[in-house]
Structure 1
């Protein structure tokens, strides 16, 4: 018995230590009202469920101890079949908890609806977000600037994010500030966030989207209003590196520059197999495109600033995909930055890519 107790304690200690290997518990260390509300909602649901889990675990251990074979004083009732009191407890308490959880779910889904604007005396900052392969592009339409893999905004100011994708579906997630929201091609989703104080927060894609998925990371910076305005002025003047020396400063983000941002989505082995096995014209075009894009990157794209943005760039990304549903020429070859031409095209692309796996 002593060895069993020591083994259980050792495993419990190991499990507790392993839970801390990922750093701080960011979901329980929220830095904004949206994330804080969601965290409180999650913890309330956990506490309610523990009202059943903890007594059940205690009773399982206690019953096993009390009715062990060596305990001759325990009651032995082989004909026992029913107890109204037990039925009320084992059914009534869970039903009550489930009803409370159902109400919390309904209330929370409306209270923390990502589309719901945040209440604030300050006007929201609008940022357009594009999930590119494999990076995040942020466009500030009011400031007419753009960034890659970096989001900056003033503290205590609502940020209204408009999200879409220029390739497969991704999930935008800044755990310290809000819940996740999907970014999908041909669609626009909304997410409202706010940071209580200045700080630097981790952002990433929480939805697997290909070999370069692990590189879709960015930093979200909450800064003072003065620092934000200074940063915008510096980026517009082509001097963004004075604020962030590790960044790359460029001029305009137009369609040509946007198309060049796409990374490859295959390994070199897959690309070689596509080139080697290409026989039809379509397969040869796909192989040529794969060669041009190259293999997927193994490091995140460097933070990049653009001093201006082509008007309507964000809308054009959505329209590129929406046009496929309105009589567009589906036989046209795929160009980097544009939507897949047809379901047949996608099917052949997956088939040829799988030959290198």
Structure 2
């Protein structure tokens, strides 16, 4: 009984602390239909499980009180062994709840499939996302611009994201708008989101929710849901090389090409690793190579705007990890010619995976 009371008090205290310290419980304060639906599924599952947890906790307290040693009026049945009514309750109710949860899981996994396009009167905005070493790169192929650590899109317009990674596996997550999805080298994943309203002035919080190394804690970005007019103004400003008029803290650059893309990579090793390499260097060449290394960042990369972007850059990032895939030619030229086929290949892979589910 004492352990049960302590467990209940601990959970209650933890919930209170999380609510007080977290401020806005973003997962329960959704700003889009995807996040709202996922939040409702999560809360429905919690409520169903509480149908077992709460009565069990109350009965544990009540039984401890009723059958305490000092209660001489409690029934004493040392030979009692079975009750059909109790068996029906303790097995029947959980089976029903598990059945309901199983149906909700099946329905929700199809309803909120990240690959499933969202229904809307507005044309989706396509954005290509690259998880670079401790920063996020966003390419707008239709607008022919690119950004680093900043994502802007019109409100009430479906956001069609295509994601990949240029280093280790990462997890793209904007809690206010929807669930996370992985970005992996040599692969393309899809995520469809939508914001019902404009974002606060500081935007929605976006980050990597998958540990990926020493600079992982700096891998943040801001997502802004704006009006159509504000989005068009932002795009025009970047294309004109005047993106800092919208965001004075950003860095405006002319073009994101292969050379600039390579320069965006942050560091070679952690500061500690570089110091160890220098200390353990056996030749002057090894020491010089270690001293030339850049340490991983200790703060998030600044926002950058690019007035234009090299065509096929996103596809080239995917295909450079697939150079020997089925013997195909994945050079930059082949990428531009076979882009539709690449999209079809991704859709077939996803359809196969969905059938497997």
What is the TM-score when the length of structure 2 is the normalising length?
0.85
Query: Following superposition of structure 1 onto structure 2, how do residues 76-91 of structure 1 map, counting pairs within 5 Å?
Result: 76-91=76-91
Q: Pick closer, same or farther for the CA change 1:216–1:10 going to 2, 3 Å.
A: closer
Shift of 1:96: 0.4
Task: Please give the alpha-carbon distance, in whole angstroms, between the structure 2 residues aligned to 1:288 and 1:197.
Answer: 53
In the alignment, what sits opposite 1:26? 26
1:209 aligns with 2:212: yes
Query: Following superposition of structure 1 onto structure 2, how do residues 194-343 of structure 1 map, counting pairs within 5 Å?
Result: 194-199=194-199, 200-277=203-280, 291-323=291-323, 325=325
Shift of 1:54: 0.5
Query: Following superposition of structure 1 onto structure 2, how do residues 146-165 of structure 1 map, counting pairs within 5 Å?
Result: 146-165=146-165
Task: Please give the alpha-carbon distance, in whole angstroms, between the structure 2 residues aligned to 1:99 and 1:318.
Answer: 41
Does the aligned pair in 2 maintain the 1:130–1:314 contact within 8 Å?
A: yes
Does the aligned pair in 2 maintain the 1:264–1:290 contact within 8 Å?
A: no
Which whole-Å deviations, capped at 9, do the CAs of 1:255-301 have from their partners, x for residues lacking one? 01000100125222211322444569xxx999877654511100100
Task: Please give the alpha-carbon distance, in whole angstroms, between the structure 2 residues aligned to 1:184 and 1:13.
Answer: 38
Shift of 1:61: 0.3
In the alignment, what sits opposite 2:343? none
In the alignment, what sits opposite 1:121? 121
Does the aligned pair in 1 maintain the 2:274–2:293 contact within 8 Å?
A: no
Q: Pick closer, same or farther for the CA change 1:324–1:19 going to 2, 3 Å.
A: farther
Q: Pick closer, same or farther for the CA change 1:10–1:150 going to 2, 3 Å.
A: closer
Shift of 1:22: 2.0
Task: Please give the alpha-carbon distance, in whole angstroms, between the structure 1 residues aligned to 2:247 and 2:324.
Answer: 40
Does the aligned pair in 2 maintain the 1:138–1:147 contact within 8 Å?
A: yes
Between 264-273 and 70-79, report the one with greater CA deviation.
264-273
Does the aligned pair in 1 maintain the 2:135–2:300 contact within 8 Å?
A: yes
In the alignment, what sits opposite 2:348? none
Task: Please give the alpha-carbon distance, in whole angstroms, between the structure 2 residues aligned to 1:259 and 1:153.
Answer: 26
2:210 counterpart SS class: coil
Does the aligned pair in 1 maintain the 2:253–2:305 contact within 8 Å?
A: yes
Task: Please give the alpha-carbon distance, in whole angstroms, between the structure 2 residues aligned to 1:64 and 1:92.
Answer: 24
Task: Please give the alpha-carbon distance, in whole angstroms, between the structure 1 residues aligned to 2:11 and 2:92.
Answer: 34
Structure 2 unaligned spans of 5+: 329-357
Task: Please give the alpha-carbon distance, in whole angstroms, between the structure 1 residues aligned to 2:45 and 2:192.
Answer: 23
Task: Please give the alpha-carbon distance, in whole angstroms, between the structure 2 residues aligned to 1:141 and 1:7.
Answer: 53
Structure 1 unaligned spans of 5+: 329-357
In the alignment, what sits opposite 1:336? none
Which whole-Å deviations, capped at 9, do the CAs of 1:303-335 have from their partners, x for residues lacking one? 00000000110001011111155679xxxxxxx
Which whole-Å deviations, capped at 9, do the CAs of 1:84-130 have from their partners, x for residues lacking one? 11000000000000000000000000000000000001110000000
Q: Pick closer, same or farther for the CA change 1:81–1:265 going to 2, 3 Å.
A: farther
Aligned length: 323
Shift of 1:177: 0.2
Task: Please give the alpha-carbon distance, in whole angstroms, between the structure 1 residues aligned to 2:213 and 2:287.
Answer: 18
Does the aligned pair in 2 maintain the 1:149–1:303 contact within 8 Å?
A: yes
What is the TM-score when the length of structure 1 is the normalising length?
0.85
Q: Pick closer, same or farther for the CA change 1:7–1:182 going to 2, 3 Å.
A: closer
Q: Pick closer, same or farther for the CA change 1:279–1:164 going to 2, 3 Å.
A: farther
Cα-Cα RMSD:
2.6
